[in-house]
Amino acid sequence: MKEALDELILCLRRRIEPYVSYDEVQQWPPGQLEQLMQMRVVVPTMPAKEYTCRECHGKECGGISLTVQRNTQTGQDVGMFLCREESGAGLKQVSLDHLRRWEIIPDKKKPEPVVHKVESVAVADVPEQKLSPADEKAYQSYCIAEQSLGKCTDKEAYEWLEEHGDPDYELPSFDTWHKYVRNGRKYHNTNKNTRRAGRKTSAPSVKDDPALLSQISNRHSKYPVESEKAD
């Protein structure tokens, strides 16, 4: 039974015409139509506009337009047409059920999702960022200048170092020294904004961090901090 049903479903879905007529359904085993409708293989659709007569043996007459009339005896609508064949000439009456039809639903099986396997990629170890000696020395010199001047601009610190800085530290040009100091601030996480007129710096100064200040002072205790002598 199941094999016959599967074969019927396969035949239906291979058809070019996407409809099944009433006369064809009448040839199916009892209950077959209801089962296919439940499986959503076929569904009722709009009735056909033309009728195909098969009353004449060995001959089909298609393309017949029925005239709908009310049967006075049963009170139901029926289809009427005039047959011009010799074997059955005359006015014919047929049930409108012959116009019923069912649409064949195409098989819409969804393909199984394709799972793309992503292989793990080994992440190379990134060496810890280190500060260059030039950056470290410039940053330390700025910290020493700030200990004497308090919060100051980089230009003010550079000018102070030109006069009071460690003689063993060869002070580069301001642009180069300024770049080294910025690298040092970034490394030690003590970035600051250049002070504008009427505006205080918003980022922390090295003097605001006692631990960092103590570390720098201990590391560079050899740097003499000279006080300006009055003229």
Q: What percent of the chain has pLDDT over 90?
A: 8
Confidence at residue 158, expressed as pLDDT on a 0 to 100 scale: 93
Please, what is the average pLDDT of the chain?
75
Q: Is residue 207 part of a domain?
A: yes
The model's pTM: 0.40
Confidence at residue 176, expressed as pLDDT on a 0 to 100 scale: 93
Q: Residue 110's pLDDT band (boundaries 50, 70, 90)?
A: very low
Q: Is residue 123 part of a domain?
A: no
Q: What percent of the chain has pLDDT over 70?
A: 69
Q: Measuring CA to CA, which residue among 143, 145, 128, 102 is closest to residue 15? A: 102
User: Has residue 114 got a pLDDT over 70?
Assistant: no
DSSP-derived 3-state class of residue 128 = coil
For 32, what's the count of Cα atoms within 13 Å in the CB-facing half-sphere? Answer: 17
Do residues 70 and 158 both lie within one domain? no
User: Has residue 231 got a pLDDT over 80?
Assistant: no
Q: Is residue 121 part of a domain?
A: no
- Residues spanned by the domain of 204: 133-219
DSSP-derived 3-state class of residue 142 = helix
User: Has residue 174 got a pLDDT over 90?
Assistant: yes
Confidence at residue 186, expressed as pLDDT on a 0 to 100 scale: 86
Do residues 11 and 87 both lie within one domain? yes
Confidence at residue 150, expressed as pLDDT on a 0 to 100 scale: 84
- Helix extents (H) in the chain: 2-14, 22-25, 32-38, 133-149, 154-164, 174-188, 210-219
Q: Is residue 18 part of a domain?
A: yes
Do residues 65 and 142 both lie within one domain? no
Confidence at residue 145, expressed as pLDDT on a 0 to 100 scale: 87
Contact status, residue 73 vs residue 66, Cβ threshold 8 Å? no
Per residue in 37-72, is it b (16+ CB within 10 Å) or e — as a string?
A: eeeebbeeeeeeeebebeeeeeeebeebebeeeeee
pLDDT (tens digit, 9 = 90+) per residue, 119-153? 665 555 545 667 888 888 888 888 988 888 888 89
Q: Residue 81's pLDDT band (boundaries 50, 70, 90)?
A: confident
Do residues 76 and 141 both lie within one domain? no
**Comparing 14-23, 50-59, 102-111, 146-155, which segment has the lowest mean pLDDT?**
102-111
Averaged pLDDT for residues 27-40? 87
Q: How many CB atoms lie within 10 A of CB 206?
A: 23
Confidence at residue 155, expressed as pLDDT on a 0 to 100 scale: 92
pLDDT (tens digit, 9 = 90+) per residue, 184-212? 888 888 766 544 444 444 344 444 555 55
Q: Measuring CA to CA, which residue among 227, 46, 220, 229 is closest to residue 144? A: 220
Do residues 6 and 99 both lie within one domain? yes
Q: Is residue 229 part of a domain?
A: no
Confidence at residue 125, expressed as pLDDT on a 0 to 100 scale: 57
Q: Residue 117's pLDDT band (boundaries 50, 70, 90)?
A: low
Q: Which of 63, 85, 104 is the last residue of a domain?
A: 104
How many DSSP H helices and E strands does the chain contain? Answer: 7, 8
Do residues 55 and 143 both lie within one domain? no
- Residue that wins the pLDDT comparison between 210 and 108: 108
Q: Which of 84, 104, 124 is the last residue of a domain?
A: 104
Instruction: Look at the chain and report how many structural domains it folds into.
Output: 2
